[in-house]
Amino acid sequence: MDTAAHARASSDPGDPHTLGVVDESVAGLRLHALEMGALVIEQVATAARSLLERDMKLAQLVLARESLVDDYDRRLDRDSLTFIALQQPVANDLRLSRAIVRIGRELERAGDEAKKIARFTLTLGQTADGDPVVAVSRQLRHMASLSGSMLRNAVRAADEMDVTLAHSVLERDAELDAEFAAALRLVMSYVLQDHRFLRPTIDTIFALKGLERIGDHATNIAEQVLYVKEGARG
């Protein structure tokens, strides 16, 4: 520990503590956040596929797994609280324990969006003749791919505490927003032509909005990485 050489630089939350039990708590929190992240990534991808491919089984699968996501969220909440109560973390350990709770919350909300998209798939049913989903399928596909990739990178950045990767997630949010605006214009022109599709059009808008929100949750996760590593954000 050289006092002069260490200017503004934070140790990685994974760096070993003198007390092994602290390392175990931190490792446990990070592992469960990663597992939850992987589950939500899968939920979002499955929900988007269920919609694009009109696959009821995939939609049912998303709904069935929803409670697992909630379980992880509660577990992260509980384990972070225990860590704070028993180990009294400070500085980057404290920031990490708060970030983990917030990341859990963002993942849980992203999981909710996946659930809503899956429900929409079920409402929409098998009929594929000239409905609004087909009209914006290219945009839906692109938004699903973009938000999915943002979420994957955000979860990976959180697992590896990778600031550069976190920044790359933040940079892509504008692209997703622009794509959403374009899809919205398209689907609105569609409903103006044929009023019979008002209800499915509204649902389609919600599905598009859901994908856009998933990108926001990924952005918020990336911001937590910056908060842990740099401490600058609230």
Give the residues lining the site for other proteins (CB under 8 A).
1-3, 6-11, 15-19, 22, 88-95, 231
Asked if 10 and 231 count as a contact pair (C-beta separation under 8 A), the reply is yes
Residue 92 has, within 13 A of its CA and on its CB side, a CA count of 17
Q: Please, which residue, 68 or 94, has the CB nearer to other proteins?
A: 94
Q: Please, which residue, 22 or 52, has the CB nearer to other proteins?
A: 22
Least CB distance to other proteins at residue 24 (A): 13
Q: Which two tokens stand for residue 41?
A: 């990534």
Least CB distance to other proteins at residue 22 (A): 6
Neighbours of 43 (CB within 10 A): 28
Q: Please, which residue, 13 or 148, has the CB nearer to other proteins?
A: 13
Q: Please, which residue, 192 or 232, has the CB nearer to other proteins?
A: 232
Residue 32: which of 83, 89, 87, 95 has the closest Cα? 83
Least CB distance to other proteins at residue 88 (A): 6
Question: In angstroms, how far is CA 48 from the centroid of its own chain?
Answer: 14
d(CA 111, CA 63): 10
Name residues whose C-beta falls within 8 Å of residue 52's C-beta, 6 or more positions apart in sequence.
Answer: 133, 137, 140, 141, 144
Least CB distance to other proteins at residue 82 (A): 17
Q: Please, which residue, 95 or 213, has the CB nearer to other proteins?
A: 95
Q: Cα dihedral sign for 32, 150, 215, 184?
A: negative
Least CB distance to other proteins at residue 166 (A): 17
3-class SS shares of the chain: helix, strand, coil, % to 5 = 85, 0, 15
Least CB distance to other proteins at residue 17 (A): 5
Q: Please, which residue, 44 or 96, has the CB nearer to other proteins?
A: 96
